[in-house]
Structure 1
Amino acid sequence: MNFSEQHCDPCQSGLGLLTQDDLYEYMKVINAGWQISDDGLIISRNFGFKNFAKTMFFINALANLADQQGHHPDVCFGYNYARVSFTTHEAKGLTRNDFICAKAVDELTVASRA
Structure 2
Amino acid sequence: MSDLKSKTCKPCAPGTPPLSRPQAVTLLAQLPGWSLNDTASEIVRTFKFKNYYETMAFVNALAWVAHREDHHPDIEVGYNRCHVRFSTHSIKGLSENDCVCAAKINALLGE
Q: Give the corresponding residue for 1:104.
A: 104
Q: Give the corresponding residue for 2:10.
A: 9
Q: How does 1:11-90 map to 2 (within 5 A)?
A: 11=12, 13-14=13-14, 15-31=16-32, 33-90=33-90
Deviation at 1:20, TM superposition (A): 2.2
Quick one: distance in 2 between partners of 1:104 and 1:85?
A: 14
| Secondary structure of the structure 2 residue equivalent to 1:62 | helix
Quick one: distance in 2 between partners of 1:36 and 1:86?
A: 10
Whether contact under 8 Å (2:20, 2:40) holds in the other structure is: no
Paired residues in the alignment total 109
| Secondary structure of the structure 2 residue equivalent to 1:26 | helix
Aligned residues with identical type, % of pairs: 37
TM-score (norm 1): 0.90
Quick one: distance in 1 between partners of 2:35 and 2:22?
A: 16
User: Deviations 1:5-61 (Å, cap 9, x if unpaired)?
Assistant: 1000023x2343112221121011111x11111111110001100110000000000
User: Deviations 1:93-113 (Å, cap 9, x if unpaired)?
Assistant: 0000000001001101227xx
What residue ranges of structure 2 are gaps of 5+ in the alignment?
Answer: none
C-alpha RMSD of the superposition: 1.2
For 1:5, the aligned partner's letter is S
